[in-house]
Chain A
Amino acid sequence: MEEQQNTRAPEPWPRKEMFEPLHGKAESRVDAILLLIREASTNLPGDVISSLSEQKAKESDGSQAQRALGIILENIEIAYDAKTPICQDTGTNIFHVHYPVGTSTIALRNEITQAVRRATELGYLRPNSVDSITGKNSGDNTGIGLPSLYFHEWEKDHLEIKLMLKGGGCENVGAQYALPESRLGAGRDLAGVKKVVLDAVLQAQGRGCSPGILGVGIGGDRVSGALLAKEQLFRTLEDQSPDPLLADAEAEMLEKSNQLGIGPMGFGGATTLLSVKMAKMHRIPASFFVSTSYMCWASRRKSLVLKQDNTYIIE
């Protein structure tokens, strides 16, 4: 096993087909959504795989950090080949749906729910929906508020469904700060934002399954800011904020976070985060929230583009 890992690292990753988008024609929208769920659960986005592979080469030889990244890469390949979940915590199933004018969101809601039930039966998703008071598991990933659905009408004539599977370990280390934050000396400015971002990474340690990706939502209210932070996790790792100030802050906070030395799994090492993604929204004068959403290395995000004739692209 050790030898195998050594021949695999560093780049190039030998499995080009893992990076290819999936094309085809589905029997129905439910089938296409089911395929989206399968891809999200079993095949990590190519940019994340490449980044993990590059970071493995940067960790010192023989370290626990390097061993952890080696196992992570091996795990990704096993899951891809066997079409089994990359991580058993298939998390909250978050769907962002862009739909053409005239499409029924009631129908889409039913179809997504059907696909989620089917994906649970097939083992792409773990039964993960629990009554908050009785603790009873619904057994099929549905429940009050689950799956998590966001609908946005648009003027294009095709459907786009973005899916994120967000596990509990990383969700639990997300945070929300109200500036000013005296413990950290964080004021109501960009420097203050950076300080609380660093603190969020420090507090998370390895518990969010580092190396992770940190989404940051600046401003808004407690709800909209948190949503903004989480939406950043749909961005590719290469993507930079269109706002030059935030683009610089993203790069700076990635570098500074990695200086903390928390490393993969919190074992110590050079790779604590793979990326920092920031976005801002307006706020009311009295409130200045900074919300963070942490995504584990198993950053399971895929998007489905589905045309009227049910031809699809999943990537």
Chain B
Amino acid sequence: MAQTITINPPGITEEQIRSLKKGDMVSISGIILTGRDTAHKYIKDNFLHGEIPEAERETYEGLKKFLHGGILYHAGPVVLNDPNGQPYITAVGPTTSLREEPYEYDVIKHFGVRAVIGKGGMGEKTLSACKEFGAVYLHAIGGAAAYTAKSIRKVHGNFKPEFGTPEAFWILEVENLECVVTMDAHGESLHADILQSSSSAAKEILGGIH
């Protein structure tokens, strides 16, 4: 039976994550970090090969604070500034996660990320990271950017603004952001299930097209 569990990043425990099952709903209240293509490449190039470059140390420590026991959200928001110069977000739906498949195993392992939010699901390597290190993949509703933006209470700045608005790491305070667990820490993936069932259906349908 699907359940709704509240999690509060960046203080999520392995136990909480291991209790989640494919199909469960989670409600997120806390601070999460966005990161997509440039962000993942940056992490790989700078932090995953031993020595942290001195110039990047401050960013590294900042990222670690939010990612350890935290949530990485695959998203590139629309950001405006209010008259006081405070950034706010009007649209922030998930982006396609599969592009980060080459990186995510190592990112989860290195930082101790407990959940990744995105859309479309990820592959076997990420699924194995979820199982090994205790993490889940959470599916948001692709395209529902205005809806998702409603859950954002505050934007606490960013890291690497020079990557451009969509690609920077944005620090977001969210309240009751709801997602579905589609890949759990027990090796189960809804995406693998649907791929299998739809492939079987396609095989049958193809046989009937003449």
Chain A residues packing against B (C-beta within 8 Å):
64, 68, 71-72, 74-75, 78-79, 82, 84-90, 123, 126-128, 130, 135-137, 139, 167-169, 172, 184-185, 191, 194-195, 198-199, 202, 205-207, 209, 256, 259-263, 265-268, 296-298
Contact = CB atoms under 8 A, between A and B. Distances in A.
11 contacts: A75-B141, A85-B91, A85-B145, A167-B143, A205-B198, A260-B198, A265-B139, A266-B121, A266-B190, A267-B139, A296-B142
Interface in B49-102: 75-78, 80, 90-93, 95-96, 98
Contacts of B193: 268
Interface of B: 23, 38, 75-78, 80, 90-93, 95-96, 98, 119-121, 139, 141-150, 163-167, 180, 182, 190-191, 193-195, 197-199, 201-202, 205-206, 209-210
B139 A126 contact: no
B194 A261 contact: yes
B209 A191 contact: yes
Nearest to B38: A135
Given A126-B77, A191-B210, A261-B198, 12 more contacts: A74-B147, A75-B141, A86-B146, A87-B91, A137-B164, A202-B202, A205-B191, A206-B191, A261-B201, A262-B198, A265-B119, A265-B142
Contacts of B209: 191, 194-195, 198, 256
A267 B206 contact: no
A272 to B, nearest CB: 8
B210 A202 contact: no
Nearest to B89: A88
A39 B103 CA distance: 37
A136 B164 contact: yes
A112 B165 CA distance: 22
State the 4 A-B residue pairs at the shortest beta-carbon distance, nearest first.
Answer: A137-B164, A88-B91, A75-B147, A207-B120
B164 to A, nearest CB: 3
A267 B93 contact: no
A4 to B, nearest CB: 12
B46 to A, nearest CB: 15
Contact of A126 (B38, B91, B163): B91
